[in-house]
Structure 1
């Protein structure tokens, strides 16, 4: 059994036992409908044209930070899968300001995110950064949203539109 198949079986087992599958989307706009399901207090209101239709949610923790993630994958002709889009909602005390977020994500992604490589990004009042296929912003101390879009298949404008389509669900919407 290949590592990818084993990982997929493990993830499906965890989803089925731990958090359960997402509700089945209606026919016709299936990917868009799944994007609108709440993810840790946020919805994804825009998906780029051509994003894969295999959608999974994950909940993990790394380095003292809790991740709630939604992943859109596409099936490859050889039977494997590739990730087109991943939206992470991160919560943790160590994410107190934008510099701390940058340091955390540099460590997590094993990627140099020095100030010179990052470009500014704003999501409403929230400040953030972008770097090749990745956008993140500090919603408030301890709460970050990160959007990763495969730069080999989608351009910067698709990444921007997708990130700006992520919105916090207001408490009144959640309870009503």
Structure 2
């Protein structure tokens, strides 16, 4: 498989998914973990292990971190292997421009609306979202949402199992469509 082609997009939040939800920002400290005995990105290894059997998965950053500190700065905080899976973010200045009104409009959208708008723009073959923000997702998108508890995120065994189950389903759907297209091609060749 061509490593650069990844037909499955997983829209990944950070706060409440790869780290505890209690992340704060101050001028003095920058971004920091406000929850005692927790660290930034502490659950990343769980995500990496869950994705390891699926080289066809790309990640899309769907987080307030897209807006600040920004997509590029955020990626630099992640392990190299995970960085290589990212293909973009739901908000990116290169895509959305620098108009502060556009940025503010994006910030006021629900996470579900942000992800769905990106799905319609990016058009992945299959997609899922992993997020602790489960409010206001369109009904048609809810089956693709893996809901996390912001206190445990992807460290939860149940979340890891659901992610893997849904990724297997995505792979199956892609393979089923490939077989269907192959059969169609075979029919047209006989004509």
TM-score (normalised: structure 2):
0.26
Higher relative contact order (CA 8 A, sep 6+): 2
Of the two, which has the highest radius of gyration? 2
TM-score (normalised: structure 1):
0.27
